[in-house]
Structure 1
Amino acid sequence: MHSHHSHSGSYSQHGSSPLDSMIEQAEKLHMKTFCLTEHVPRRNAKYLYPEEKNNSDDCVNLDRLYQDFNKFVIHAQWIKKERQNGPTKYIIGTEIESCDEDQIMYAKEFMTKYSDVLKFCVGSVHHINGVPIDFDQENWDLALKSSNNNLKDMLLSYFNDQFKMIQTMKPLVVGHFDVYKLFLPQNLLVNSLTGDVVFERNHTDNNVLAVKDIPSLINNWDEVREIVIRNLKFIDSYGGVLEINTSALRKKLAEPYPSKDICELAKQYCGGRFVLSDDSHSVEQVAVCYREALDYIVNVIKLNTMYYLDDGDGEKLKALPIPIDEYKNDFFWKQSCLP
């Protein structure tokens, strides 16, 4: 079918398969569209991930990320040209880092510099208060601590950072909308009124609940719900789409990104525009968990239409609709080789 978000071991330190191997897999699976979206490099060394700090001189590592991105741009153009008559369409974009406002402006510079090549960006948030939230449990806990050990405050920070990013970049695809849930402990005790984390339960306080017992974190606090709606309305205003990202499923979460409560709000406030992404970093992850995603799309959030990106007329990239009956009956889903 389609994937609007991918990485490779060729240009990402946390990827594991060469880019050429990944596109071969996309074609083997008869994918119609496979978007190439390596990360914009980071400007500040403090945002390097551990696997990127393999040299004592962080400036060397920052320069390597910069050079790798330049190589990616050249390689991606070669792929698009050489395989233009193949079974899969390749669209070149990038995933932007929104670690802070300086990094957002740096990403904007890259989009301008490569405007003739990069047709869109996947706009994502990976940090709260400068701390990565999708790397490991230790860092997620630090991000919570930096938010006054208050889960509501953590979510408010996340969605406010997301708003800054979408205001500046207007990303056509908004990536993994609720990635903060990756390391969110389901047994974490929270005061459901204030959002404060509770470290020792007082059984006389009925407001203290485990996260798993709160039906919807988004709808539990009016302040959080209101800024999520604000973000969705802004995305809708410039014609952006949200990705249904299956990496959450391969990481053993119960739902893709975004969760059902956010999807319901997106149907109401963002035109219900969703595209599908695998966020793959290896051959094994191309189209991973897509059958589960189809069930989520059809039977859980009950979309009437899915979307995909297309540059067929050679002009501005567009998000085009597919009626859900046509989508779910596509040949792609009948293949026995789907992961």
Structure 2
Amino acid sequence: HDDQGGDQPLLTPVYEGTLLGLSGDPWVETSEVRAGNTLSGSFNVSFAGVDGVHPGTTVIQHDATAEDVVEALTRLPGVPAGTVAVSRSGPDPENGYVWTVSFLDDAERTWEKDLGDDFDFEIASTANLIGVDARAKIEVLREGTMKEIQLLNVTRGGGNDTKNDYFYLEFGGQITGKIFAASDPKTGECGDAVPEVQRISSRTVDTTASGGDAAVSPRTTFRLGYGRETTGYIYAANGGDCSVAGAKIEAELEALDAFYEVDVASSATLGSHECDWDVTFSTTAGNLDELSISVSRDAAGPEDGPSSSAQAGDDTMTVATTTEGRTDIVQSELEA
């Protein structure tokens, strides 16, 4: 039956007292002509990468949830987290499913095609997909498009005071607010977006003369705050390897709702285990509020902060903005 998939038990005939014959005892028997089909197992999807240099395959179970497929696809090199969305329909009578994958915009414009680009996903193998005539296929429901680019060129006839010159843009009957031709009032230059950079620093006091030490304590821990959110605790010293805390800072900040992606560069002062971590907020536009910092020992006991500067013993940790973020004013007005 079309609506009853899979291998089914045999029908049981019921005929006693209702089936009559002229001689002997009549009977009815059932037998299986062909076994029903039910899918199981898994299949492999491959992806050559946006630039063709990130080959990779991933395994998807035959009944994977939408969340499972997102996780499987983002395990592929060249597929950034947060750039695919998946919905699922099914199962059909044979336990088959259909997944619809949408490719989302991100700061790097991962899925924005140029003419001639080809970065389609492909079925790499169905060897582990179990069932009669078991197959998996990928179809393109809608091709992506190449975005239009328009050049906005502002020229001025004469004079030196360009900081007060402004203009408006109109599209579809809507008009932007004022856009100053020199959108950076400090430099008078046209203002592209500039990502904010904040520096987290650990410093200590040399107390060797009084029986102490000259290095950041291995017990010093800190956590960062932004708005109402707070990261987990991070150890500052790590034997002088600043990259350990740098990786932790990056992971903890990206776990906050306020940020999608940050980049952390680490530098060390040899011997003292002092570190500087430069945090670039690469996907958060504009001039941001400064992170706050709280410091303690072993993530327990008394905690100093939250503030721009906090201490634990003779160790001090600070946060300072080294580059103020700036929003591209044209982009902001058009997106409004």
Structure ranking higher on relative contact order (CA contacts 8 Å, 6+ apart) = 1
Tell me if both proteins adopt one fold, taking TM over 0.5 as the criterion. Answer: no
TM-score where L is the length of structure 1: 0.18
Structure number with higher helix proportion = 1
Structure number with higher strand proportion = 2
TM-score where L is the length of structure 2: 0.18
